[in-house]
Amino acid sequence: MKRLITLSIGLAALTGCEPTQAVLYNEDYALAFAGEGCVVAEGPTASIADGFTLEAWIRVAEAPDRMGILRLGGSALLWMDDGRVGLGRTDQPDQTGWIAEAQLADGRPHHLAVSWSLSHQGAFYVDGLQIGAGDGWLAGESLGQVHLGCNGPGADPFVGVLDEVRVSDQPRFGGDFHPSKVPYSVDSATLALWHMDGGVGDFILDSADQFPGTAHGVAWTTGLTRDSEAPEGAP
């Protein structure tokens, strides 16, 4: 049986909200977004000028419109729609940056990642398989405020489930790979890591202790990484 650890957090100092009880570790959970909610995470500015990896487990039944998965600071957005995935500027995400064809809106869990370094092109990966590449337009960006499940409040809202969202300051994948089906561990390249395993409350802890956040209009649900339909990835 897993051990449950709870913390009483001074949320007023972090978010201006009254404190609630936050769960540091629990059973396997994820966050369900219904097209109205978002997670906003504050944290120190962290540079990704030399390289980065953005990744998450997602489950989406349909995506008729563009949906924001992860927004970094005020300028970069990882997004998807019905048939595409992209990383672009927040003001024109589907007209800038990188775009690849990907059928993700099928109601099944998928691991999505995008990785880039100064010495290599960027690359998209779905379920551990490379699906597209891009150039280095994002060099010099920094994180600042992070949004999960939207492109800022009320913009490009996500409809589906997010789990195991990780931001790293170096490329983690140089080719096809097996997506991890166990919770990630914090290492020297981890800038932020949201396990989404709280299960209660509206405070989302970051295992890297950089970007704790608050959830608005979302619900806890069963985690994705151990789902029987989660893909195995590259052979």
Evaluate whether residue 80 is within a structural domain.
yes
Evaluate whether residue 71 is within a structural domain.
yes
- pLDDT tens profile 11-25: 223 333 333 333 344
Three-class SS state of 89 = strand
- Which of 159, 129, 173, 167 lies closest to 31, judged by CA? 159
- pLDDT tens profile 197-214: 888 888 888 887 778 888
Evaluate whether residue 224 is within a structural domain.
no
The residue count of the chain comes to 235
Residue owning tokens 């779905």: 126
Helical residues (DSSP H) of 124-164, grouped into ranges: none
Between residues 164 and 96, which one has the greater pLDDT?
164
Domain count, the chain: 1
Evaluate whether residue 73 is within a structural domain.
yes
Between residues 67 and 154, which one has the greater pLDDT?
67
Sign of CA dihedral 163, 164, 168, 170: negative
Evaluate whether residue 84 is within a structural domain.
yes
What residue numbers bound the domain in which 185 lies?
29-192
Evaluate whether residue 53 is within a structural domain.
yes
Evaluate whether residue 75 is within a structural domain.
yes
pTM summary value: 0.82
In contact, 131 and 101? CB cutoff 8 Å: yes
CATH code for the domain in which residue 82 is found:
2.60.120.200
Evaluate whether residue 12 is within a structural domain.
no
